[in-house]
A and B are shown apart, each in its own frame.
Chain A
Amino acid sequence: MLIPKFECTEGQTIALVGPSGCGKSTFLNLIAGILNPSAGSIYIDTTEITSLSRAASAAFRLSEIGLIFQEFELVEHLSVGDNVLLPSYLGTRKDQTVIENRARDLARDFGILNYWDALPESLSHGERQRAAICRALSARPRLLLADEPTGNLDPVNKQKTLELMHSSAKEHNQGLLVVTHDLELVHAFDAVIQFEEINQHGQK
């Protein structure tokens, strides 16, 4: 993978499309600091995350980046509420009551507050993905990264999930970068980028 330059501004929503195996998910993992590039730098605002230690990078991700996965990745033994609050349990923030109230508001907005104490297994696919989005948004990140967030959803839930992500990004001025195969849904994004356009590997 060779990416000379890529930018996402505050509040901008970008859909990243491309064939399977072209490196879209790897690209998201690089931005999230889960993987390190062999060369070059990645900045989020003024922070060069590629120069951070593994622990600092994790802490940065916890507070500044919200991640949404295709398989939801909810923790099966935690209730929906605990899953939403997971970043706060793993982080260092002390204002737990404020965080919990905000998370409940978020869950209400996403229509899953009734399932707050339920285990994820009792939720439908759409509800699980909404819980996963709530988890990603609960820490008020500056950047939302979503890897095929609608891959396992029916058309109604696909639309609803994307709308929720968009509205949150606009409302909180968050950058939103979504990897998707679903070309029918990409028209709502500010920008749609073919991954091959930014990845110049093999083009030299």
Chain B
Amino acid sequence: MKDDNSTIALQELAALYALGALCQHEARAFENHLHDGDGQAIAELEAFTQVVEALGYAASSVEPPAYLLDVLTARLHKEPQLPASVLPFPHQLQAPPQSLHEVPHFPPSTAAPMPTNVTSFAAAKSKSSAANTFIPWALAASFLIAAVFGFWQWKKVKDEAAVLNSQMAAVKKETERLSQQLNEENDKVFEQTRISQALRSPNARVVDLRGQEIAPTTQATIFWDTQANQWVVAADLQPAPEGKVYQLWFVTAEAKISAGLIKPKPSGHAFTVISLPKDINHLAAAAITLEPEGGSAQPTSPIYTFGKIAG
């Protein structure tokens, strides 16, 4: 059974988590706690999740426009429940080839009609003449058929090659995306592991750093691993401007001592582990400033995030 303070802290975390109001690293730390199988935490979260689900009812019902159902129905017809990765095969991308019967007919003969009272010679000559007239046309037609068929074959191969190239490009792009996602997931796992390790250390401490006037939306949390004498720092900052870098400071009553540089990802999230110097005592606070590339010996800019360390 937890004491009252622990229960209150647990309820606060569960309530904020259910509302989606914890910062990213706090949410991950709480998820780790749930994975450790804390029954009370799981029960509190389930109850608060139900409250959040019910909150949707507080909004007044509003009739959506009638046409939306038609749009939706049309959308469902167009987007059946198929995996997004299914691509059409090449033969589905083009019309089937025309049969040879559909090749345009040859032009009719332009010779004048023969009179009906002609001699057999004349008739024979006429037949010979007709044959002589037909042969060039037949040859021309054969060449035309061959040309049309050849063009169609060439176009078919070209189209199939284009589709295959397109599919290969899509697969390559997807592979790159998955690789990047895997790297990000690995980073998250590492971060969660280090935060959990810090929280499990005896007398573990958590220091919240809040955004100051110059950057009110920034924030950071220091998980103080007392066993390893390290600070595990998770921060959500704005991307640093060109030529600048964030710097973390140990603040004592006498001095501000550089704790190291913080380089956020393009998303603004940063994670770092800092070893505390053995000779540092009576830490009063921690602060983050924006410094020139390479860092400074002493802070040269206003404080971006700041958190006091209870004695």
Partners in one complex: no
Query: Which A residues fall within an 8 A CB radius of B?
Result: none
Query: Which B residues fall within an 8 A CB radius of A?
Result: none
